[in-house]
Structure 1
Amino acid sequence: MKNSLLIFGAFVLLGTWLPKQAEAQVAARDTADLTNNFYDNETVMPLPMVTLSVDGEIANPGVVDFSKLPIHSVIVKETKLNPDGSNTFEGAYRYDGYSLFDILNKVKLQKKNGKDFAPIIDLYIEVSNDKGEKVILSWGELYYPNNLQNIIIANAVMRIVPSKTMELWPLPETSKLVVPLDLLTARNISNPSKITIRSIDATFKVQKGLSPMFSESFKLTAENGKEVVIKEISKELSKITYHSIFYGRGRGIHSTTPFTGYVLKEVMEPYYTLAKENIQHGLFVFAGFDGYRVAMTYAELFNRNDQAEFLLLNDQSDKDGGCFKIFPACDFFSDRAVKSLKEVRFERR
């Protein structure tokens, strides 16, 4: 009787330590491959989670109640970046879990720079764990992309096994942050326990409604700290055209005309190295002549796997918004499109 009470007490105590989670949504395993779904053929394994807290520039910090959140599924080809610049494929997986979109959906933002700059496109978040690991994501990656709900904290995993080789990829043993659009998955850290919301620590003179507006060049802070002035684009680079429905969160439809420009990461590539530290911690601030600024992570600019690139437009004839502009092809809204680009700052957070 005493042993039974001790065991019951241990389970009760354990329940107070674990975060509340939604009831598991277990899909039937299609072992005979009877359906067209490639992502339900193997056993789904649970991943134990830890308590997750949210703080930073918000009015309602606290612990996340996962029991009120829906489960989302994402598919990932995890690949590690090695110190020598090469990479190692680690496995293909389906992860189930809770999206950062849902987790942060009801936080009440209190931007510390809100009086100077009200738009929220200069926000970013830090996701950290108790091992001291930390990665950053821009607010744009969470709430502005064409495909929502795709960044999750996983509480279950399934191998995606090749039908011919039958390779069984190693399974993680704990919960993890999963960023499916990363080519090299350095931001997929284990056991995330804290999310901190911040605004970029940069000051620019705001001249709202400035017109006409033109910037013939822009200043760029390279990874080594040196400042570079970009006035012309290398003739070795080629332009590409994206057909787009250009739609803003506030003003709605702007245009349906194509955008032609240079792939932004190709213009900036000579000044930044592909490194784990940059993928995890690198943060850019792109600012226009009027003080409008946006946050963008190194990872979403240089480490995409969806080929939805940011473009740098060079339009000398546009005397009200030119000559350099940023077009965010990966975003649903146009809000991270910067006109009359004046400055690009870089730091590791």
Structure 2
Amino acid sequence: MSLGHACVDVYQGAVAALVPFFVAERALSYAAASGIVLAASLLSSVVQPLFGALTDRRAMPWLLPLSALTAGVGVALSGVCGSYPLTLAAVAVSGIGVAAYHPEAARAARAVASGGNTGMGWFSLGGNVGFVLAPLLVAAVMAGGGLHASPLLVVPAVAGAGLCAAAVRASRARPAPGPGAARAGTDDWPSFLRLSGAVVCRSVVFVGLSAFVSLYVRERVGGGDVAGTAALCVLYTGGAVGTVLGGRLADRFGRLPVVRGAYALTVLAVAGVVFVPGPAVYLFVAVTSAGLYVPFSLHVTLGQDYLPGRVGTASGVTLGLTVSVGGLAAPALGALADAASLRTALVPLIALPALGGLLLSGLREPAPAERLAPAG
């Protein structure tokens, strides 16, 4: 499931990685380029809770391979669409595929991980690996033919569909849960909504950096496409490390203390990205990435435990909706960059982790789920 997650989340990272190529080959403004990120996020943001609600009613394991293919086909077509509106439509289709995948996948992963933080950390690591590979994959494909080579980007989707189908078959081979396996507990909506607000703050920071850190680092240190791609890889690689570290730290110190500490670290790290000159920007990008990703899988398990009766909805929101909704801020950041500078556009991102930390203050650790029925 972790490998399948990697193949799907390649397409979340690929949209941001394609932005510099859309700017270069189609002479798009920053605002227009960020609109592509918005298109990938908008429909995903709207439909993800719907998929979560559906999976609360019944298991839908067939969504996993189908959504992997949908995510890949949309991105693969985006570079060969003949107009800007068609490009937006293609990446929107990809966003729907991503939206359909995450609620069911998170439910199934929590089941096979037996509710543990470390197990969910490994599942989330798969998604982060996909983000890490996305700029490398996009750069390799674009080097061979520019945007017209984008159909080659469908390959991970085919692999992901096969991996997801294999995971579904394996989960069906597991013993069926007994009649006492259903989740029990009272849904804590106030705590869940505060957690979701914090994740939105984290999401805006991540999406904003994903969309513009490549262009920003090229502007700050030179080095052209190589420097920009390297910065994006650092952003995603630090996330891969942070996700696994987050699960281990939470098992030792508790989830909420770790999440609050990560948000505080992110404030300082983003300030370093914006204000510290020279190649040191790479170090601060790495620290920012770790701060953003240490709480990533913990958001999911906290959300599931705050809503024990609506695990699919909680998964869809914490793993999908609040991540995708960050794309809604991308056009505003792009417009600010066009009006002033990229550096000015990134300054507001410093305050958002602080706001997220405030939303998390006072939350209590929910009782972890002891049993969660598999989704197969």
| Structure with the larger RCO, 1 or 2 (CA within 8 Å, 6+ apart) | 2
Larger Rg: 1
Class of the TM-score when normalised by the shorter of the 2 chains: under 0.3
Q: TM-score, normalised by structure 2?
A: 0.25
